[in-house]
Amino acid sequence: MTAIAQDTGKAIRAFRADVPDGQLTDMRRRIDATRWPTRELVTDRSQGVQLATMQALCRYWTTEYDWRRCEAKLNALPQFVTEIDGVDIHFIHARSPHADALPLIMTHGWPGSVVELLETVGPLTDPTTNGGRAEDAFHLVLPSLPGYGFSGEPTELGWDVARVGQAWAELMRRLGYSRYVAQGGDVGAGVTDAMGRQAPEGLLGIHLNLLVTALGAQLPGDTEQERAALEAIATFRSSGFAYFLEQATRPQTIGYGLLDSPVALAAWMLDHDTDAYYKMSRAFVDGQPAGNLTRDHVLDNITLYWLTGTGASAARSYWESYGPDAPAAAAAAGQSPPPVSVPAAFTTFPGEIWRTPRSWAEQSYPTLAYFNEVDRGGHFAAWEEPEVFATEVQAAFRPLRAPQVPEPRR
Amino acid sequence: MTTVAQETAKAIRPFRVDVPDEALAEMRRRIAATVWPERETVPDSSQGVPLATMQELARYWATDYDWRACEAKLNALPQFVTEIDGLDIHFIHVRSQHDNALPLVINHGWPGSVVEQLKIIDPLVNPTAHGASEGDAFHVVIPSMPGYGFSGKPTSTGWGPERMARAWAELMQRLGYPRYVAQGGDWGAFVVDQMGLQAPAGLLAVHTNMPATVPADVDRALLAGEPPPAGLSEEERLAYEQLVRTFQQVEYAKYMAARPQTLYGIADSPVGLAAWLLDHNDADGQPAAAVASALGRTTSTTGELTRDEILDNITLYWLTNTGVSASRLYWEYKGGFFNAKGVTIPVAVSVFPGEQYEAPRSWTERAYPQLIHYNRLDRGGHFAAWEQPHLFVDEIRAGFRSLRTLKIPEPRR
């Protein structure tokens, strides 16, 4: 590659979402033409996403739902694309009006996107107009994972969460941030955990809202909280893990339906954990959203996957990070990753798949500097309870910035 | 229910397949309008059914493939529907011209249908036309499982292999067969094992081409991901390794066991359905090597599996919209897979090399104490009847032959 090509690749290009009308018309046409299976034989979610939920969702999707509103919300934020490690990375870059703001890179998960994080942009970048303090401000970087949303789809192997973590460090360097922090839940927690272990220059600390180590390590079951968490993990492994296994092993096979059928995609994405499913289902069936998980917000995310055709590529990210056939699995065989060396912070949300006890967070992160359990929110914490979430992120990183902000002279 | 209604329900009604032209046009329209994912990032099928495979299949499916040929094949056979246990059961019923023919009920599996069994019917019913003797004739009954093909879709839970086994016994009784045998592979093997356990009056024996023989200690080690127990013979250790491989290729089964309803894509997208149905493994690959190679076979004079037959089966699922209802069978079943179930009636076993594992004779003798036939074939796999119909027919004849010599009185001398 020539020097000029390298420069072009590393350029940070402005980006706007602009979906052609024809694509929206085709999407609605497909939803209207859905051929449905028969109703499930049970009265709960134990056979999967319920027919009544899907039919209510589709009714709203083709009649009242307006993608242009989501597009306008995205385009109201500064968005960019830059090529890192051969893949175009899309990101929102919302700088705080406060010059001393702490740079923060926040990573979404599956089945999520930057849409999950949009309502946190205000509270995090502009705390003073959201009832907070200027000292808690962040410059916010919200990238789309490779294969997700408006980011490019990797065409070569090896894009596990560790490689994404390296790309994020490069992104922050390229944006001129020499000191920053990182946050993530779900797959984003995997990326952020990996960054904590890689400890790239400038990374001051991490905050997580999912304990990814709990799915690999043997964690103790001595206290009541620990036993409850172990039980929740066992339930997840026995009845809630099927999407994970399918994506980790056969992403291409499931991808055909996800690309060809809006309803298939919507159902696949709705079928995450029990708590989030019922919250989203109620938003459509009973018109009773939980927090910010409204019909529009749920459909913004699903529609983004549809319009970008990323059902299969997002599923493939599980193959890359967790699949037995992926290069990452071979590389990691028999090796334990280095410990996280930067300060770690953790928040337990009560509706999460399992409620992480402080003891587990301490064992997983010897550098644990902040732990809190809040009273609202679930797996999609930032999405569902953006204010609670923003307050946690602010509190978690507050100790890290204290030395940076000079005390006023008296 | 009144007596009249009961009589009506129990009536055996003739059935013909007659798919409206619009349904075929709509299917082709959907295939042609497929939105495709990008290509897999590997040069093999380790991420699922490759894009090139699906695109080639879809091109043929939407253009030259002819469902009416399959429909004609089905309609050339006597087909019926009768209500059993509240559900309409579709079945093919071909009686042999030979009076001493042995009644046989054959159970298909997933992702199969009666389409899997079409090539074996005439040789079984009409052996003298296929180089065998009159004494090998069968009256053949091939039901569609509940939720599959032209059978009804259950509207309440409970239709697992145990209930199907009882339904097939009722079907044979209703057809006036006081003595009969049963055969199955894949889910059909689960059903015949259950029939063996229930041992309904009249069931003389079963034949299975996916025998459940794994001893309890071996099964425990397998499920725990442990090394094989000490003391296995070389043949048993090989079977253990094959089972380890199989259990790494059954995510599709785990998915359907957990979330069948979430598979809206296999109801709404022909290509989504086809990929899902193609991704079943055999010993030599996932998708099954036998199926993958058949996708490149346009005709066969020796009965080997062809592309049209594979599309016949997939198209049957599409036209009956049974992708999700068929998946629910995995959800219904909570038992073990290849563990010995305790069947004590006479059992015949054929071991095909491409099957999920090659059941060792030692395990098979323990699992089925009244083993009346055990044979290892050198060809054929998980879809044995479909892949190797001649061998399969020979196995069924040989498997049940010992039963007939007892039944047919010796001529006086």
Complete DSSP assignment for A213-243: GGGTS-----SHHHHHHHHHHHHHHHHS-HH
Pairing of strands B79-84, B13-14: antiparallel
In chain A, which residues have their Cβ closer than 8 Å to the Cβ of B272?
256-258, 260-261, 264
Residue pair B163/B86 in contact (Cβ under 8 Å)? The answer is no
Each residue's pLDDT tens digit in chain B (413 positions)?
445 555 666 899 999 999 999 999 999 999 999 999 999 999 999 999 999 999 999 999 999 999 999 999 999 999 999 999 999 999 999 999 999 999 999 999 999 999 999 999 999 999 999 999 999 999 999 999 999 999 999 999 999 999 999 999 999 999 999 999 999 999 999 999 999 999 999 999 999 999 999 999 999 999 999 999 999 999 999 999 999 999 999 999 999 999 999 999 999 999 999 999 999 999 999 999 999 999 999 999 889 999 999 999 999 999 999 999 999 999 999 999 999 999 999 999 999 999 999 999 999 999 999 999 999 999 999 999 999 999 999 999 999 999 986 554 545 55
Q: Cα A320 from chain centroid?
A: 17
Parallel, antiparallel, or unpaired: how do β-strands A13-15 and A79-84 relate?
antiparallel
Chains A & B: contacts with CB separation below 8 Å: 185
* Residue B274, min C-alpha distance to chain A (Å): 9
Tokens of B229: 């127990």
Of B38, B154, B275, the CB nearest to A253: B275
Nearest to A36 among B51, B267, B278 (CB): B267
Integer Cα distance of A349 and A385 in angstroms: 10
Cα torsion A329, A332, A336, A338: sign: negative
CA distance A352 to A339: 24
Inter-chain contact A48–B276, Cβ cutoff 8 Å? no
Q: For residue A255, give the nearest of B37, B155, B251 by CB distance.
A: B37
DSSP one-letter string for A359-410: HHHHHH-TTEEEEEE-SS-BTTHHHH-HHHHHHHHHHHHHHHHTTTSPPPP-
Active site residues of B: 186, 330, 382
Residues 215-244, chain A: which have Cβ within 8 Å of B? 239-243
Residues B259, A242: C-beta atoms closer than 8 Å: yes
Residue labelled with tokens 């206290």: A223
B88 vs A: CB within 8 A: no
Please answer whether residues B142 and B172 qualify as being in contact, where contact means their C-beta atoms are separated by less than 8 angstroms.
Answer: no
- Contact between residue B166 and residue B85 where contact means Cβ atoms under 8 Å apart: yes
Q: How far apart are CA A241 and CA A273, in angstroms?
A: 9
- Cα distances (angstroms) measured from residue B278 to each of A254, B46, B288: 11, 14, 8
CB atoms under 10 Å from CB of A211, counted, come to 26
The CATH architecture that domain B3-407 belongs to is 3-Layer(aba) Sandwich (3.40)
Closest by alpha carbon to B212, among B390, B333, B380?
A: B333
- Is the Cβ pair A41, B258 closer than 8 Å? no
Dist CA A251 CA A258 (whole Å): 10
DSSP A117: G
3-state secondary structure of B260: helix
Q: Kindly report the CA angle at B287 between B283 and B292, in degrees rounded to 5?
A: 95
A257 chain-B contacts, CB cut-off 8 A: 263-266, 268-269, 271-273, 275-276
What pLDDT, on a 0 to 100 scale, did the predictor assign at position B270? 98
The domain ranges of chain B are 3-407
The reply to whether residue B38 touches residue A34, judged by beta carbons under 8 angstroms, is: no
CA distance A72 to chain B (A): 26
Q: Which domains does chain A have, with CATH numbers?
A: 3-401 (3.40.50.1820)
